[in-house]
């Protein structure tokens, strides 16, 4: 998926987005997320505040990653909050020398920017946590 992403430093992409005619109504146009290339600020706080659980009890450290039994299961271990998966993800977010998992690299919550164009004109904002 990473090679199919749009990056904020791709001048052609930014020019195309800027050239879109704004509608004359209250219709809002949302463009795809534009990611920062290899500039991961590691601002993700999900492993510190989030526990995603499905109906089978399988968990995930992030709402963007589907729960899976390999991450843990609350019916088999009630202390999943401090299991090896959570500890590893917390360490990854704190230690910049460690590699970020592939599924994190395209997450807009990990330091990426989103450009939003509204009918009132272009609005650029950063999503930060």
Q: What is the pLDDT along the chain (129 residues), one digit of tens a residue?
A: 445 667 777 888 888 878 877 777 677 777 777 776 655 566 788 899 889 999 999 999 988 888 999 999 999 998 999 999 999 999 988 887 888 887 787 676 664 433 333 334 443 333 333
Count of structural domains within the chain = 2
Residue 88's pLDDT is what? 93
Q: Does 1 share its domain with 38?
A: yes
Residue 118's pLDDT is what? 39
Residue 38's pLDDT is what? 57
8 Å CB contact between 102 and 89? no
Residue 34's pLDDT is what? 77
Q: Does 35 share its domain with 15?
A: yes
Q: Does 50 share its domain with 91?
A: yes
Residue 109's pLDDT is what? 65
Q: Does 92 share its domain with 53?
A: yes
Q: Does 81 share its domain with 109?
A: no
Q: Does 52 share its domain with 86?
A: yes
Q: Does 63 share its domain with 86?
A: yes
Q: Does 35 share its domain with 71?
A: no
- Domain holding 114, by residue range, is 1-42+100-129
Q: Does 104 share its domain with 74?
A: no
Q: Does 91 share its domain with 50?
A: yes
Residue 31's pLDDT is what? 73
Task: Tell me if the pTM is above 0.75.
Answer: no
């Amino acid at each position: 998926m990473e090679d199919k992403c749009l990056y904020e430093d791709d001048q052609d992409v930014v020019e195309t987005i800027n050239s879109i005619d704004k509608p004359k109504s209250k219709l809002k146009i949302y463009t795809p997320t534009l990611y920062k290339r290899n500039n991961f600020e590691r601002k993700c706080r999900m492993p510190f505040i989030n526990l995603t659980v499905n109906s089978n009890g399988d968990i995930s450290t992030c709402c963007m990653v589907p729960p899976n039994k390999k991450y843990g299961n609350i019916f088999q271990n009630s202390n999943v909050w401090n299991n090896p998966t959570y500890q590893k993800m917390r360490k990854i977010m704190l230690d910049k020398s460690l590699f970020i998992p592939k599924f994190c690299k395209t997450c807009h919550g990990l330091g990426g920017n989103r450009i939003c164009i509204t009918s009132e004109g272009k609005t650029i904002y950063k999503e930060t946590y």
